[in-house]
């Protein structure tokens, strides 16, 4: 497994608000414009049984399934990209009552991870940096 991205953001909201905001996957397209829409099953709150499809604006679909779910701490999902298996970890840490550290860790394994992983990371990092907005 190779770490492709390990990026932290500090947001000026409580841990609970940060979690609730990001756990509403149906709202991601409002601030992540590279995402057209997200289908999540089962419908309702995000949880360990969640899986789905992220429909990107460029018509690519990204399938995911939850592998780890620890409320107000982290969730991790996994999905394919070409010949790779990508692991996305969304981590939350309360710094104080009005600030939260968000940490996004993306790891990959599989055939061609050194080439395709770097390519994927370049695109993903750009979207993360440009599109990440928290309101």
Helix (H, G, I), strand (E, B) or coil at 29: helix
Taking residues 96-104, report their average pLDDT. 95
Q: What's the pLDDT score for residue 135?
A: 43
Give the predicted TM-score (pTM) of the model.
0.88
Please check the confidence at residue 47 and state whether its pLDDT lies above 90: yes
**d(C-alpha 120, C-alpha 125), whole Å:** 8
Taking residues 119-134, report their average pLDDT. 70
Phi, psi of 98, deg, nearest 5:
-120, 10
CA 61, distance to chain mean position in Å, is 14
**What does the domain layout of the chain look like in residue ranges?**
2-131
CATH number listed for the domain at residues 2-131:
3.30.530.20
Of all residues in the chain, what percent carry a pLDDT higher than 70?
93
Q: Which of 28, 14, 23 is nearest to 47 (CA)?
A: 23
Q: What's the pLDDT score for residue 3?
A: 93
């Amino acid at each position: 497994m190779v770490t492709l991205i390990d990026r932290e953001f500090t947001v000026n909201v409580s841990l609970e608000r940060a979690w609730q905001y990001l756990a509403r996957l149906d709202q991601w397209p409002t601030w992540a414009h590279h995402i057209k829409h997200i289908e999540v099953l089962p419908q309702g709150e995000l949880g360990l049984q969640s899986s789905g499809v992220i429909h990107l604006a460029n018509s690519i679909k990204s399938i995911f399934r939850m592998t780890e779910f620890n409320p107000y701490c982290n969730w991790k999902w996994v999905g394919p990209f070409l010949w790779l298996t990508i692991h996305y970890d969304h981590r939350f840490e309360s710094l104080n009552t009005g600030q939260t550290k968000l940490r996004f860790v993306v790891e990959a394994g599989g055939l061609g991870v050194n080439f395709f992983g770097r390519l994927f990371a370049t695109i993903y990092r750009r979207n993360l940096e440009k599109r990440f907005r928290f309101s």
